[in-house]
């Protein structure tokens, strides 16, 4: 049976972990913006994680995840040298970067892990990249050095002002636009509410804005319907039609409401997983 070895594990902050997974067939085809679906063990649920990096020569794929639910608790208990049951991908459509000359990439929280490979690809293709990354506070800032390496301008924002500039990513983005920067596109990746207000900001200036939608998914092939969204008045499925969409056409309020449906269930599952782990380590 094909298994997927964890070749590197690195905590990025108290709740966010980077893992590099040996998956040569996925690495061969992976592109920024696509995702994988994994199972930690044969009894585990399927969860989608956007590809945070890949190395075709080594045959590895990097994922970055936040420990927020039952499955990510179990995943975070795995160590280097151990294996994952399933690691399926790449799924979804790659972020379109061809022809872009100047782009603002906006990342929020753990969404920065998804935004980074997009910024890196744009930089490699000769695009001028301005990046804005936002976090609640200094202690959860991630990937700053990596963004700085591929961005001609970088703004780091924190809600409480403990690092970088105090304020929201939308404040920094608007400052860049008002300074005269003419962007071909803004690419925003992060919490749905953040992406909604990035789109409201860019709408005033007529700047096309692409958002990455990563709602609840089960099968990743459009069969289950769990990841459905309303885009330009039509039903779309993030797993096969996205995950990137024109943000001006996304019904964000519907997406936020649908995401909230699962919060109570996920909290219960998270508590169960944590209690089980505590019993195991005693």
252 in Cβ contact with 195 (< 8 Å): yes
- Measured CA to CA, the distance from residue 106 to residue 212 in angstroms comes to 11
Fold assignment, 4-91: Elongation Factor Tu (Ef-tu); domain 3 (2.40.30)
Q: Provide the 8-state DSSP code for 262.
A: T
Number of C-alpha atoms within 13 angstroms, CB side, residue 179?
A: 10
Task: Note if the pTM is more than 0.75.
Answer: yes
User: Domain spans of the chain?
Assistant: 4-91, 102-260
Residues contacting residue 140 through CB under 8 Å, at least 6 positions apart = 13, 14, 15, 16, 109
163 in Cβ contact with 138 (< 8 Å): yes
Fold assignment, 102-260: Rossmann fold (3.40.50)
- Measured CA to CA, the distance from residue 120 to residue 36 in angstroms comes to 19
List the chain pLDDT tens, one digit each, 282 residues. 567 999 999 999 989 999 999 999 999 999 999 999 999 998 888 888 989 999 999 999 999 999 988 889 999 999 999 999 999 999 989 999 999 999 999 999 999 999 999 999 999 999 999 999 999 999 999 999 999 999 999 999 999 999 999 999 999 999 999 999 999 999 999 999 999 999 999 999 999 999 998 755 554 455 566 677 888 898 888 777 878 999 999 988 888 887 665 555 445 444 444 454 445 444
């Amino acid at each position: 049976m094909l298994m997927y070895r964890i070749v590197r594990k690195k905590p990025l902050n108290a709740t966010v972990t980077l893992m590099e997974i040996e998956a040569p067939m996925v690495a061969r085809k992976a592109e920024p913006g696509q995702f994988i679906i994994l199972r930690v063990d044969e009894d585990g649920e399927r969860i989608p994680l956007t590809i945070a990096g890949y190395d075709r020569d080594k045959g590895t794929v990097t994922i970055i995840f936040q420990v927020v639910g039952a499955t990510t608790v179990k995943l975070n208990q795995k160590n280097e040298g151990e294996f994952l049951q399933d690691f399926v991908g790449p799924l979804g459509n790659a972020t379109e970067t061809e022809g872009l000359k100047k782009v603002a990439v906006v990342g929020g929280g753990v969404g920065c892990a998804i935004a980074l490979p997009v910024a890196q690809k744009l930089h490699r293709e000769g695009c001028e990249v301005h990046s804005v990354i936002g976090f609640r506070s200094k202690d959860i800032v991630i990937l700053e050095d990596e963004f700085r390496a591929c961005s001609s301008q970088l703004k780091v924002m924190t809600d409480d002002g403990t690092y970088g500039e105090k304020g929201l990513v939308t404040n920094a983005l608007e400052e860049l636009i008002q300074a005269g920067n003419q962007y071909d596109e803004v690419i925003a990746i992060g919490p749905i509410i953040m992406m909604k207000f990035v789109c409201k900001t860019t709408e005033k200036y007529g700047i096309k804005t692409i958002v990455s939608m990563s709602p609840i998914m089960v099968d990743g092939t459009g069969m289950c319907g769990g990841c459905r969204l309303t885009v330009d008045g039509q039903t779309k499925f993030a797993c096969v039609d996205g995950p990137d969409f024109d943000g001006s056409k996304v019904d964000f309020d519907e997406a936020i409401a649908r995401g909230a449906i699962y919060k109570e269930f996920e909290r219960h599952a998270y508590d169960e997983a944590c209690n089980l782990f505590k019993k195991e380590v005693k």
